[in-house]
Each structure stands twice: as structure tokens, then as C-alpha cells.
Amino acid sequence: MTEPHRTPVRAAVEEAGSERVQRTTEEAAGGGQLDDVLAAGLSAVFVGINPSPISSAAGHSFATPGNRFWPALHASGFTPTLMRPDRERDLLALGLGITSIVRRSTGRAAELTTRELVAGGRDLAERLRVLSPQWVAMLGVTGYRTAFAAPRAEVGPQSATIADARVWILPNPSGRNAHYPPAALAAEFTRFRRAAGLPDRAAPGAARRPSTLHGEEPRT
């Protein structure tokens, strides 16, 4: 079947329709930004890929049910209790912070372009340069590989630095990350905590096993 001739008017209508679809998709995905949880001189800053729409709507990091960041953080001894997303700023008193590579929220991290991730990596370095954290903990290897042109990067310590901070890649805390079930995820977080020289703050007698909830994209 022959494609109909695209007159200038037809082309304009189609382009306008495409823009409306794109705008509607972005609005449905959230498209908003999430405030950083940062301060100068932190021991470690945890860096997600980008916020999920639920987290952006809630105004708190890792707020989507099923994300295992908060359980893993407690199970590994970073926090004395299992914190809720709305208590995220309590991390600052523990020398910990949260941010993301890309600020824009999307329904899925795969919706981010390479250009966005690379630009986000530069933006992240600029944000952290004035704050001088000791460690940057990247939550997931895929985003780091693209944002910082490190295609061979693996989970664990990195030789490269970001804004003079040492870099450690942690597994993605998404419930969809079948490669790292809760116990393995907590073990990797613990490995990083020990390497960073941070104390085990988990309350005595508290449950050390992270939640087994599933279902969020591996982001903030």
C-alpha cells in the first residue's frame, strides 16, 4: 500500500500530534525532580540512576513499594533502624546522603538517553565537587557505565574518582534485580560499609534481614 503524500499541513498536524503524545507520556511518567539529600563533608553519598514517578510525587527517595534500598541500608549496618523514605534527611546526621545521576523522573530508567546520562554524570560531579564527600556509592552498574564511559565497570571499588571522592558500585536495589536477592544485596552493602570504615549502627537485637518486597525500577 502506497503511503499518502505528506503535505506541509499534514506534516505539521502529525508533528503536533507527536509532540502531544510525548508530552503526555512525560507527564504520566512524572517528569519531575526530587530534592537531593546532601551536605558538605559526608562519609558516603548513595547515587541512584534517576527518580521514579512515585518517589518524585512523594517527595522522598526510594519511596516506591518494593525498592530494597532502605532495608539493605539497615541490614548492612548503615542505619540503626529501618528508616522510612520520609525520614531520609535523618541520614545526614549519620554522614550519609542521597542523589541521582539524572534529576528527571521517568517511568523506567531505560527511557533515559545516553546523552542524558552523560550530562547527568557531569552534573553529578559538579554537585559533589563543592561538597567533598569521601565516598560515592553508585546504585547499579549500568547507569555508571554509561554516565562515566566505563563499559567494563563491575560491582565493587573503582579506580576512578568522582569529584575527588572514591567510588564504589553497589548492586541495584530494585526488587527486579534477581541477581541479588535480599541477603546478597545486604552483604554487598556491608562490604562497602566496612571498606569505607563506617561503624555498624544496626540496633542490637534488631532484625538484620532486609525486606523481600519486589517490584521497583532500580532508581531513587
What is the pLDDT, as a whole number, of residue 17? 37
Distance CA 155, CA 142 (A): 10
* Domain presence at residue 90: yes
Q: What is the mean pLDDT of residues 209-217?
A: 38
* Domain presence at residue 128: yes
* Domain presence at residue 205: no
| C-alpha closest to that of 220 among 11, 28, 63, 44 | 63
Provide the terminal-to-terminal Cα distance of the chain, rounded to the nearest Å.
Answer: 47
**pLDDT tens per residue across span 51-96:** 989 999 999 999 988 899 999 999 999 999 999 999 999 999 999 9
pTM, to two decimals: 0.79
- Bin 49: left if φ > 0, else alpha if -120 < ψ < 50, else beta: alpha
Is the predicted pLDDT of residue 213 greater than 50, yes or no?
Answer: no
What is the pLDDT, as a whole number, of residue 108? 79
What is the pLDDT, as a whole number, of residue 34? 86
What is the pLDDT, as a whole number, of residue 24? 31
**pLDDT tens per residue across span 185-212:** 999 999 999 999 999 999 575 444 443 3
Residues facing 79 on adjacent strands: none
Q: What is the mean pLDDT of residues 92-103?
A: 97
* Domain presence at residue 27: no
* Domain presence at residue 125: yes
Distance CA 19, CA 145 (A): 31
Q: For the domain that residue 122 is a member of, what is the CATH number?
A: 3.40.470.10
User: Rounded to an integer, what is the distance from CA 98 to the centroid of its chain?
Assistant: 8
**pLDDT tens per residue across span 104-157:** 988 777 789 999 999 999 999 999 999 999 999 999 999 999 999 999 999 999
What is the domain extent for residue 146?
A: 32-195
Distance CA 101, CA 119 (A): 9
Identify residue 51 by its one-letter amino acid code: P
Q: What is the mean pLDDT of residues 2-20?
A: 40
Radius of gyration of the chain (CA): 19
Residues facing 157 on adjacent strands: 168
* Domain presence at residue 105: yes
* Domain presence at residue 182: yes
- Count: domains in the chain: 1
* Domain presence at residue 202: no
Report phi then psi at 117, rounded to 5: -65, -40
